[in-house]
Amino acid sequence: MTISNYTDLQTAVGNWLHRSDLSAVIPDFITLAETRMNGDLKSRSMEVRTTLTCVPGSDVTARYVALPSDMLEMRRLTLMTEPAITLEYMSPDQINEEMPFLLAADRPTRFTVIGGNIELSPPPDSSYSLELIYMQRIPPLASNSTNWLLTTNPNAYLFGALLASVAYTQDDSRATLWEQKYQQAIATTNAIDWYSGSTLRVRSL
């Protein structure tokens, strides 16, 4: 059968398991597969670009900008001035050490990541646009009928969900085969036209 959307995938998982009594838990298998794939995939299709805005001021609020909730890893943060400036990443400890000397608002040149926020240094003296390029979590099928991964490589979803089912069904007779098929699907996706140079990897907590 063709697997083109969330409903098709749920049907396929049940068919491959030869079980008609798992409709209530198959969505859990798919969610668990997505969680694993978010860690295993490094596909260019996960790379997105968005614009953030910082506001002027020397207080704590002005130094922080919320990151997208679907961010896995950061690739680049650019201050959209003329010319544009790629901000330098520093560790939270480094930013904390220099902050007492940079309390005056100015154009930010450095940043760190604290939980789900960017902290800018020095605090912005004006409203700036920040271009963030980051690796995005797989759009979950629980709230999307389909996504780029299901369209391009349904095998990853199918075998990822079948693997997730093993702990529930306690039937591991095909787990080795499904693991092999899952790894092949992940490798295929990761191999498609991916940037091979160095990259900044800052994970959102």
Q: What is the pLDDT of residues 84-107, one digit of tens each?
A: 999 999 999 988 887 655 567 889
- What is residue 63's three-state secondary structure? helix
Domain residue extents for the chain = 6-41+138-193, 45-136
pLDDT at residue 182 in the model: 98
What's the pTM?
0.84
CB 36, CB 44: distance < 8 Å: no
Q: Which are the contacts of 137, defined by CB distance < 8 A and separation ≥ 6?
A: 38, 46, 70, 71, 72
